[in-house]
Structure 1
Amino acid sequence: MPSTDEELRVAPTEHECVCEGRSCATGDRCKGQQCFSSLTLSDGTPVSQKGCFKVYEQGRMTCKTPPSPDQIVECCQAHLCNMNLTVRLPVRVVEGPNYSVTTLTIVIVAPVIVLIFLSGVAILIFRCIHHHQMEHLTAHDAEYGTIDGLIASNVGESTLADLLDHSCTSGSGSGLPFLVQRTVARQIALSECVGKGRYGEVWRGQWQGESVAVKIFSSRDEKSWFRETEIYNTVLLRHENILGFIASDMTSRSSSTQLWLITHFHEMGSLYDYLQLHMLDASACLRMALSIASGLAHLHVEIFGTQGKPAIAHRDLKSKNILVNKNGQCCIADLGKNSFRMKQNQLLYVCCCFIWSHMWLHYKRKRKKRTCTIVIPCFFFFYINAF
């Protein structure tokens, strides 16, 4: 049985078709073996045409062309069959690559793993920074953590020399005002322990870039701290050959109460330690002897006035209680351990059970009571190296 193409080729039949578009020069009707309706995309603009194919081979070639995103042609064989024949361009479908399940799993899981890793690194860095900041705050706990009020001052704006200047103090020579003492004491950061004694430890501290000596008493030695603080707060006691007093305060460290006595720091150490390491010539010996005698004389002298200074005896003068300055002079320290005051024309008698050096004691019997008298000739300080 012959096919449709063979029938059309043997006995062609003409059909009347609707004609629209540029190819229709004779009107809106045309006759041909096949009718068609096409839609073409020209420069982004759709162009619609309708007509007929008069030659069989032309219609066969065109009608069998598969549709594309830019052109589509549909054919029919009937009277005016293309009148209501509407064509549309096929939707362009972009097909992605065909990934396997393993590839998709890797693509999804890999970013999650990288994100978790970066988050862990960020958390670790943050914890390190936080730990460093906490160590810094702990080291400066006295400055930042225990201050009752807000204290804002730049480094170098006020130094110990400025605070101890006459314009900043009361002019009495007894140290800083009490409010300034509490401020300075709470801004000190301890750095290293430089010595230990019967009543506590001596630490080197930093206050706004300057070194200070901090003598720390335990709470059970409060009387010793109070007595030494009272001595240092004596009016007109300040002297270049007596250890400079800065402040005293009570603070809390590691759930325990500490009593601080803050003085000038002398990195040369005590005279006892200095003599173990250095040889002195005659001029250096005379300079040290003169400075010790000057400080001792200032302690012994009584200054009269509205707020005068009473005469003070050291009672424990020895090379370990004398500090060496950078200029080769000395200053007398440890005024509170065994110091006492002498009234006018009177000498306070105390029991001889105190641990005084034997050269300072002169025993005598008076009314069958054991008493002692302090004998302090100025030349005795030349023998302090032996103790």
Structure 2
Amino acid sequence: MFTWIQLKSLLFLLFVCFGASSSNVATTARCEYYNDTLCQESKQGCFETQECEQPEPEKRNHCFVLWQNNSMGKPYIKLKGCFLNNIDCYDQPKCVEKREEPKKALMFCCCEGDMCNRNFTWEPVSTHSPPSAVPKPVTNISEDGLDVMVYTLVPVLILAIIIAAVYWFYRQRKLAYFNELPTIEPHPLPPPSPLMGLRPIQLLEIKARGRFGAVWKAQYKTDTVAVKIFPIQDKQSWLSEQEIFKLPHMDHEDILRYIGVEKRGDNLQAEFWLITAFHEKGSLCDYLKANIVTWTELCRIAETMARYFVSE
């Protein structure tokens, strides 16, 4: 059993403990008051003192500030005054906004204690997740950019070198082939076909004119033929085309039919003729330049080109 003295001592200790704990809670009875709208219109509500109403049991009064930062980063106050019972404001002796500022957002802070909202600050706390515990190596942006450039340009450069090498090889073979053709006639050229005098060919109409001569539509007996006429200065081209037509496997139904060659005239008036079958639509190259082919025509062209290789 407690004696009366012990009971009084216990009550005194309880009073001291509860009194000390309650004294640590700052009470709020007055706050600085400001209303931007009233202040602008009637010059009232400009930094006055507001007496806060007595809160209900277990509730508290707070002071608050609502403001917005302008383009220069300076605060533009909208409202100040009393604020009733918000757990986020408990035990906050200073009015501090800790959110990161969203664009064009209003800033808000609250605190406990008389006139604690006279001063306010913005101390943003980053809400991003903390960095990984394992430190990442610092990368050099310029080196990364250089790597990307190297990985991109090297394949392109290699491809360009391959294309150039193939073209050079093709040109060398082509030049070597034409260099093997005689530039002078060690003996009088044998006629490309049994020489029985000049063919009775009548030139009818010029169909094309190019770098090495002109192509005529002509009449040879009952047949219509094409005659390509080379001037004397292009005799070498005339000889080269003869050699091409004399290559093996050139006598094929899907290749332009070669008839023969002739020399017409003498000295500076000489002309060199190359006689082939006549096709009304001209060469494939000229036809494709001047016309849009249908799908059927394209298949026909591809078929006749491929037929030669299949037959060989």
Q: Which TM-score applies when normalising by structure 1?
A: 0.28
Q: Which TM-score applies when normalising by structure 2?
A: 0.35
